[in-house]
Structure 1
Amino acid sequence: MALARDGTGSGTIARAYWSQVHPVFMTPPIAASLFGAILAGNVDPVLAAVHVLAMFAAVYTAHVKDGYVDFYVRGEDDDHPLTERGCRLGLAASTATFAGCCLLLAALVDALVLAVVVPTWLIAYYHAPQLDTNPVTATTGYPLGIALSVLGGFYVQAGTITVVPLGFAGVFLALLSGVKVIDDAQDYTYDRSIEKRTVAVAVGPSRAYDIAYGLMAVALAAVVVFAVARVFPLTALLAALAFAAVAAVARRAGPELATMLLVRGSYVFLAVLVAAVRFDPLGSLM
């Protein structure tokens, strides 16, 4: 049986599977894993690479499963590059890769690492059609995966979890949940027509925007509090300031432009946090 819907050649099949790699959504979990490793201090490149591969496999699982459900189960999408058998094979391969990484991490670190790694795959696999039908889980699924990626990246290096990675994980969970609410608002009309209960559908677009920017404000306020308390490096204040400036512009834009701005703003936010943890130029002046 065919694996790709557009042909049977190896090139066509490879492109079909590669189409499930979405850099915009793949980059943050990988970056979060490496950020967690940097938080831990000394970075073992082998452990970091295994955890990064696990996060990639988890997100790939989410993309293949989501595409399968939207096209073959719900009939929402107009097209999909993989056949049903191709989707199943892709899921099997990504899951096997993830399982292999888990076994390696358990052997190289300890079995407790699975507590912060395995949930990322569970969130990915059950995102559709289970978690994405509830306003809370549809919103927090991806951000929770990012938060767990930070914790996992830290744990595989340090063998424990401290208040610092927990604080950063909480900040990312709140911040990205706010961004996700705005992202979902782009599809408000369609989601409402199929009774898909995103936050925008559940409470209306206006209140959804208030909730979204409220979550982002809470996340930025937490950064300020943690930085002043010296739990976070003082330079983390610059990350909060940079994202706040982007959010102020996005607040006056429509959902599509706002999402684009906020997603890119979150990249800047993470980049400044990495610099803060690694170098902390403001802290060196105090």
Structure 2
Amino acid sequence: MALARTGTGPRATVRAFLSQVHPVFMTPPVAAALFGAVLVGRIDPAIAAIHAVAIFAAVYTAHVKDGYVDFHIRGEDDEHPLTERGCRVGLALSTTVFAACCVLLWVLVDPVAVVLTLPTWLIAYHHAPQLDTNPLTATTGYPLGIALAILGGFYVQAGTISAVAAGFALVFLVLLSGIKVIDDTQDYDYDRSIEKRTVAVAVGPDRAYALAYGLMLTALLAVLAFAVARVFPPTTALAALAFGAVALVARRAEPTLATMLLVRGSYVFLAVLVTAVWFEPLAGVGFP
């Protein structure tokens, strides 16, 4: 039985599976896992790689499951490269990779490392059709996964969770939740027609916009507050200023363009944070 819906043979099958790798959405979680490791200052490359692969496998699971539900079950999508069997095989493979990484983390680190990593797969697998129908979970699923990636990336290196790791995880949870609200506003008319309750559908586009930018502003103010309090290196304030400039431009744009700007702004935000931590190690600002 075929795994790919278009074409036959190994090449078509490989292309179909590779089509579920979406760099725009998969790069941030993997980068967040590595950022968590960078926060520690001393990195075991093998452990960092295992954790990063686990996060990648979790996000891949989310994309395959989401496509399976939206195309084969809900009939919302017009096209999908994998057959139903192909989706099941893809889910089995990604889950096997994720499970293998968890076993390695259990052996090489400890069970707590698995406790911090396992929820990323649970969120990914249950995003559709369970979590994406509720305004709260539809909005916070992806941001929560990134927050957990930061915490897990830190823990597998340090064997503990510090205030700075928790602070960065919280900032990204709030900031990315704001971006997700804007992203969902793109599909307001369609989501409303199928009674899919995103934040925009629940409260209306105007209020959703206000809530989204309120969340992003809260996250940026938190970065500034943490920097002033020396919880974060002072130079992390530059990340807040950089993203704030992008958000000001996005505020005047329509949802599709605003989402594109904000997603790329979040890349700049993360890059500046990594640079700040790399050149101003946390140990130098009073951290254990």
In the superposition, the TM-score normalised over structure 2's length comes to: 0.97
Deviation of 1:123 after TM superposition, in Å, equals 0.2
What letter corresponds to residue 169 of structure 1 in structure 2?
A
Q: Which stretch shifts more, 170-179 or 111-120?
A: 111-120
Q: Which residue of 2 aligns with 1:153?
A: 153
Partner residue in 1 for 2:197: 197
Comparing 4-13 with 231-240, greater Cα deviation is found at: 4-13
The amino acid that maps onto 2:118 is: V
Cα distance in 1, alignment partners of residues 260 and 235 from structure 2: 25
Matched, 1:249 2:212: no
Counterpart position of 1:100: 100
Hey, what's the Cα distance between the residues in 1 that align with 2:177 and 2:62? 17
Q: Aligned to 2:153, what secondary structure does the other structure show?
A: helix
Query: Secondary structure in 2 aligned to 1:105?
Result: helix
The aligned residue for residue 182 of structure 1 is 182
Separation of aligned partners in 1, 2:7 and 2:243: 44
| Partner deviation per Cα, 1:209-233 (whole Å, 9 max, x = no partner) | 0000000011001001100000000
1:7 is displaced (CA, Å) by 2.2
Residue 241 of structure 2 corresponds to residue 206 of structure 1: no
1:1-286 matches, cutoff 5 A: 1-280=1-280
Stretches of structure 1 that go unaligned for 5 or more consecutive residues are none
Q: Secondary structure at the match of 1:252?
A: coil
**C-alpha distance in structure 2 between counterparts of 1:274 and 1:219, whole Å:** 17
CA RMSD, 1 decimal: 1.1
Separation in structure 2 between the aligned mates of residue 19 and residue 77 of structure 1, nearest angstrom: 15
Deviations 1:99-143 (A, max 9, x none): 000000010000111111000000000000000000000000000
Q: Counterparts of 2:280 and 2:184 in 1: how far apart (Å)?
A: 35
Q: Give the fraction of aligned pairs with identical amino acids, expressed as a percent.
A: 75
Amino acid at match of 2:273: L
Q: Report deviation, 1:8.
A: 2.1
CA distance in 2: counterparts of 1:88 and 1:140, whole angstroms: 26
Q: What stretches of structure 1 move > 6 A for 4+ residues in a row?
A: none
- Alpha-carbon distance between aligned partners in 2 of 1:212 and 1:191, rounded to the nearest angstrom: 18
User: Amino acid of the residue matched to residue 58 of structure 2?
Assistant: A
d(CA) in 1 for partners of 2:147 and 2:270? 12
Whole-Å separation in 2 of the counterparts to 1:33 and 1:149: 5
Q: Which amino acid aligns with 2:217?
A: A
Amino acid at match of 1:58: A
| Whole-angstrom CA distance in 1 between matches of 2:277 and 2:264 | 20
Matching residue's letter, 1:205 = P
**After superposition, what is the alpha-carbon deviation per residue over 1:242-270, rounded to whole angstroms, capped at 9, x for unaligned?**
00000001001100110000000000000
Please give the alpha-carbon distance, in whole angstroms, between the structure 1 residues aligned to 2:240 and 2:7.
48
The alpha carbon displacement at 1:241 in A equals: 0.3
